Each structure stands twice: as C-alpha cells, then as structure tokens.
Structure 1
Amino acid sequence: MPDVGDVVTARLVVAPYDDSTTAALVVTAPDGTLSTPVTSTGDGGQTWTAPLVYTLAGVWRLSWTVAGTGASVEHELVAVAPTPGASAGGRVYATTTDLANYLRAAPPLDSQQLLDAASQMLDSRVLAYCRYDVTGLGMPSDSDVATAISRAVCAQVAWWDEVGDHIGAAGAGYGSVSIGSVSLGRTTGSASSSASGGDAAARQIAPQVWDELRAPALHDKLALGAVAVPW
C-alpha cells in the first residue's frame, strides 16, 4: 500500500494492440480533484505508463481510456495511507520517545497512532474534567502537569499492549474509579451500574492513569471537578 508522498508509475497493459492504440489517464484524488498525467509507451502501444504523486491519504481512482485497437475503459482504486508516523491531529500529550522511556523498551511501530488515540481518549474522558493552566494551544503550561499527563497517556498505551486491544474488539468489564471528588463509572442502557463483562478492556481507563494524575507534584496544579463521568 502506498503512502502519502510516494511517487509512483501508473501502468496499463493493453491487449490486443498495434500502432493505432492510444491510452489516456484521468486520476481522481480522494477530495474529488481531477488530473490528467502525461502517458507514454515504449513498446508500440502494449504498455502505457504515467507518473503520479499521491498527495492525500484516502482512495484514489485511476481511469484509463484506450482508443484504437484494444479500445476499452479500465478503472483501478488505490488506497493510500497517511505519511508514516504522522499525527492524526488534535492535542497529543506524549511522544514516541516518552513512550519508550515509560516502557523502558523499544516502542511498537504504531506508537504514534496509539499515542494519538490515547491522547484523544483521555482528553474527552478525563482531562475535560480537570482544571489546570494551559498554553494558547491548550497544552499544559506547567512542567509537572505536562509530565504527569504525558505519563498518563503512555500508561494508557501500555494498558492496551497488556490487554492486546486498543479499539475495543474484546469484551471485558470494569467497575468505578474515584479520584478526590471525581467519581467515574459506566452507564449501560438506561441504568447506571458497575460493569460486568459487557465492555471492552480497551475502553477502560488504565488504572495507572489515575496513579499518574495523583502524583504529589500535582498538588494545587491540577484540580478535579466534582462531576460524574458516564460511559
């Protein structure tokens, strides 16, 4: 599978063919933009090529139109992956170096994806209920808070590695967690309950996350509101 930025050669083999055969290529990018790369042949019309640069992640459509002998229309869909290691966007509170240091081992090759997912998860389910000083970009401005949140994100990734799942494919239950005045639990259907086995382990907040956010250095720097968080 190609990645964003890859320079490739689109190729079409025509049969039958002769000197009357011509081929044109129209490329549709994932955002709907059309382009018509210059096509060429070096063997009398059997093989046609065109240079192409994948500039966006997503599904690209390559549409060849052959005229003359071998006339036909050929379509090809190409799935293009994001640039390897690129962040998905949003606030990411830990780097792959942070993760390696936290694990005391080489991090997995998909570390950036996992850190993105863990940051998003903690942002919406934990940090949204915390109060701490931030920069103009919404990142923690105090170094102790920044370190604790970074370690909490790494703890979540380590938990996913432990349970062998980070998307919630496997089911497991959890109960409730309290930090100071914050009580966190899961709501199932119309009734709130401590969980049985119906929720995936990957959707749990890792126990170590709470330990990181209770760090003594955070006293008077990270405040938890008196809220209940349903999930």
Structure 2
Amino acid sequence: MPDVGDLVTARLDVSPADETTAAVLVVTLPDGSTVSPVTTSADSGAVWTAPVAYTMAGVWRLSWTVSGTGASVEHELVSVAPAPGVVSNRSYATTTDLANYLRAAPPVDAAHLLEGASRMLDALVLKHCRYDVDDDGMPSDTEVAAAIGRAVCAQVAWWDDLGDSRGAAGAGWGSVGIGSVNLGGKSADASDGSDSAARQVAPQVWDELRAPHLHDRLYVGAVSVPW
C-alpha cells in the first residue's frame, strides 16, 4: 500500500498491440479532481507507463483508455495511506513524550495512539476540569500541560498493557470507582466495545492530574461515566 508522498510508475499491459495502439491514463483523486499523466511506451504499445504522485490519503482511481489495436478500458483502485507519523488532530503529547514516559521505544503508530488518547480524555475527563488555556484551547501553564501530556501517555501505556486500544475486546466489567469517578460496566455480551477495559480511563491518568503541586492550577471535577 503506498503512502502519501510516494511517486510510483503506473503500468498497463496491452495484448494484442501494435504501432496503432495508444493509451491514455486519467487519475481520479480522492477529492474528485482528475489529472492526466503523460503516458509512454517503449515496445510498440505492448506496455504503457505513466508517473503518478500520491498527494493525499484515500482511494485513487486509475483509468486507462486504450485505442487502436487492443482497444479497451481498464480501471484500478489504489488505497493510499497517510504519511507515517503525521499528526492530523490535536494531541497533548508527542512521541518523544511517550518514549520518555515508557522509558522505551514507542510503537510505530504512537502518533495515532496519542491522538486517540487525547480525544478520549477530552471527552471523558478534561471537559470536567478547569485550567487556563491559550487561543487554541491548549493548556497555557507549562506544568499543567506536562501533567496532561503524561496523562495521555498513561492512557496509551494502559492500552499497551491490555493489547487493545479500540475496545475490541469487551470485558463485561461491572462498576468500578476511582476517587470521585464512577465507571459502570455493561453486560458481557455488549457488542459495541464500550464495556472493554480499553474504553476505561487508566488509573494512572488520575494520579497525573491530581498531583499535589497542581492543586491551584488544575481542578479535576467529579466525573461520572455511564457505560
């Protein structure tokens, strides 16, 4: 599977083919726009090639139209992945932060995991907290920012321990209480993954956010999360 930024050579084999054979390539990008790369053949029309630069993630369609001998229309769908390590959404921690937290090399999808943990804590924890933010909604106090970053890393570390970051393995937990936080589990046959341990806030998250030196800068309110 190609990544964004890859430059590849698209190829079409035509049979039968002769000097009358000609091939045109139209590339449809994921956003619906089209480009027509220059096509060439070095063997009297039997093999045609064209350069294609994948500039965005998504599904691309390569459509070849052959005229003359061997006339035909051929379509190919190509799935293009985002460039590795690209962070497209807000994240409270970097992969370096995670490496330092784990005291080990982070997983190759660390940026994606940190994004997911940041979204999860935004939805379940941080919206109940009070702290100063900048114009982008990020914590403006450096120690608060560091604590929230460690909390996000703690959530990723929890997922690593569980071997599950998406809640695919429903555990059928019952009610769990951590301080003022109450987590109630669904039945073991729940199919949406919400009863998985991976969808629980990691206990270490609360330790990071409730560190004594943050009491006058970061208020963690009572949180009730019904599952």
Shorter chain as denominator, the TM-score bin is over 0.9
- Pair 1:230 & 2:226 matched: yes
Count of aligned pairs between the two proteins: 221
Equivalences for residues 13-28 of structure 1 within 5 A = 13-28=13-28
Paired position in structure 2 for 1:163: 162
Which TM-score applies when normalising by structure 2? 0.92
Superposition deviation, residue 176 in structure 1: 3.2
- Paired residues of 1:64 and 1:73 also in contact (CA < 8 A): yes
Equivalences for residues 33-182 of structure 1 within 5 A = 33-89=33-89, 91-172=90-171, 173=173, 175-179=175-179, 182=180
Superposition deviation, residue 196 in structure 1: 5.4
In 2, distance between residues paired with 1:68 and 1:54?
A: 30
In 2, distance between residues paired with 1:225 and 1:170?
A: 29
- Paired residues of 1:30 and 1:60 also in contact (CA < 8 A): yes
- Paired residues of 1:174 and 1:204 also in contact (CA < 8 A): no
Structure 1: which 5+ runs fail to align?
A: 187-193
Identity of aligned residues (%): 66
- Pair 1:215 & 2:211 matched: yes
Superposition deviation, residue 230 in structure 1: 3.0
Paired position in structure 2 for 1:184: 182
Superposition deviation, residue 16 in structure 1: 0.9
TM-superposition CA deviations, 1:34-82 (whole Å, max 9, x none): 1111111111101111111111100000000011111111000000000
In 2, distance between residues paired with 1:174 and 1:9?
A: 55
In 1, distance between residues paired with 2:201 and 2:88?
A: 21
Structure 2: which 5+ runs fail to align?
A: none
Paired position in structure 1 for 2:3: 3
Q: 1:195 to 1:229 in 2, by over 3 A?
A: same
What amino acid maps onto 1:31 in structure 2? D
In 1, distance between residues paired with 2:170 and 2:225?
A: 20
What amino acid maps onto 2:165 in structure 1? H
Which TM-score applies when normalising by structure 1? 0.91
Comparing 196-205 with 56-65, greater Cα deviation is found at 196-205
TM-superposition CA deviations, 1:117-144 (whole Å, max 9, x none): 1111111111111110011111111112
What amino acid maps onto 2:226 in structure 1? P
What amino acid maps onto 1:157 in structure 2? V
- The runs of 4+ residues in structure 1 deviating greater than 6 Å are none
TM-superposition CA deviations, 1:147-179 (whole Å, max 9, x none): 111111000100111110101111112523344
In 2, distance between residues paired with 1:216 and 1:183?
A: 18
Q: 1:96 to 1:7 in 2, by over 3 A?
A: same
- Paired residues of 2:125 and 2:223 also in contact (CA < 8 A): no
